[in-house]
Amino acid sequence: MNNLLQGMRAVAEPTRLRLLALCAHAELTVTELTQILGQSQPRVSRHLKLLVEAGLLDRFREGTWAFYRMSETQACATLGRTIVDLIPADDSTISRDLERLEAVQSTRAKQAADYFRDNAARWDQIRSLHVDDAEIERAMLTLLNPDEVGELLDIGTGTGRMLIVYGDQATRAVGIDLSREMLSVARVNLERAGLRNCQVRLGDMYQLPVANESFDSITIHQVLHYAESPADVIAEAARALRPGGRLIVADFVPHREEVLRGEHAHRRLGFSDEEITAWLQRASLIPEEAIYLQGDPLTVGLWPGRRAANDETALEHRANV
């Protein structure tokens, strides 16, 4: 009852209602919200603070920036969505706000396109060495049934592609990446795809900013070859996986393309079955049958691992391997 009353009091003010409506459409910074509303930054910040304290908005830091979006997990999340849905579609104030939001998103899209263009040649060179991305994505979809995806975590999300691949099946999806530039690209891609259940966060794959056992499925797509300690990345992913949940690792099998190490910062030139299996088992995950997609010269491996329904079963399996 107290949470509900606090939420209703927080939103019962014109500027805060406008902020809630905007944050229901996109993740936005204080600067962007100030630009849209035409109000001072201190004033907007005060309103945002009240909405966060009421559990209507979530706040996430990325270095010196802070992003706000409508909460999906706090006690007042349902109240916030209900209130936004009740706003008349032809409300003149909200309509003007959304027009200004489109301008902000267009600026973001241009910045993301510039960054992507500047790096496209680098990514295209790697893509030319293995099977088509669409084939990899189709194979990954076969490893998770739609009813298994649930709440999804994508580690090293990059452009957010895995969030888009699984977004329609996920109840909620979160992408983590250490590059603010890549997160900007991912946000634009998610906005274009209309996936409001998907979000991205700044974070380290060795210290994920998520709680223990908080996701039903986790993907690590073309990320491990950058890691100094791939075993630690898998162990940290396992920490975030719920009992019965599934982790999918997609990466290269061993190869000799030294150009990837020299020009593209790959730490490892692929991984063997034995390595991945050992790391999954060490993280108390049960390795499942791998899939291989032959390319020239790079072959992509998909290694799924499942967390047992309880830790005792996982440890028992590990002891018997």
Q: What is the pLDDT along the chain (321 residues), one digit of tens a residue?
A: 777 788 888 888 999 999 999 999 888 999 999 999 999 999 999 999 999 999 999 998 866 778 898 887 787 888 888 999 999 988 999 999 999 999 988 887 787 677 656 765 666 677 778 888 899 999 999 999 899 999 999 999 999 999 999 999 999 999 999 888 889 889 999 999 999 899 999 999 999 999 999 999 999 999 999 888 899 999 999 999 999 999 999 999 999 888 888 777 888 889 999 999 999 999 999 999 999 999 889 999 999 999 998 754 544 544 554
Q: How many CB atoms lie within 10 A of CB 198?
A: 27
* Among candidate residues 26, 16, 84, the one with its CA nearest the CA of residue 46: 16
pTM of the full structure = 0.77
- Class assignment of domain 129-320? alpha beta
For residue 43, give both structure tokens: 């004033």
Numbers of helices and strands, H then E, in the chain: 14, 11
* CA–CA distance, 30 with 21 (Å, rounded to integer): 15
Instruction: Provide the pLDDT for residue 314.
Output: 45
The torsion of the CA quartet 159, 160, 162, 164, rounded to 10 degrees, works out to: -120
273-282 and 230-239 helices cross at what angle (nearest 10)?
40
158 burial level (CB within 10 Å; 0-12, 13-18, 19+)? buried
AA letter at 160:
G
* CA–CA distance, 199 with 219 (Å, rounded to integer): 15
* Among candidate residues 153, 195, 158, the one with its CA nearest the CA of residue 174: 153
* CA–CA distance, 41 with 31 (Å, rounded to integer): 7
Instruction: Provide the pLDDT for residue 165.
Output: 96
What φ, ψ does residue 67 adopt, rounded to 5°? -105, 145
* Among candidate residues 165, 98, 70, 143, the one with its CA nearest the CA of residue 292: 143
* Among candidate residues 253, 293, 299, the one with its CA nearest the CA of residue 134: 293
Q: How many CB atoms lie within 10 A of CB 180?
A: 12
Domain boundaries, the chain: 2-102, 129-320
Query: DSSP state, 297?
Result: S
* CA–CA distance, 148 with 136 (Å, rounded to integer): 19
CATH number for 2-102 (one of 1.10.8.640, 1.10.10.10, 3.30.930.10, 1.10.490.20): it is: 1.10.10.10
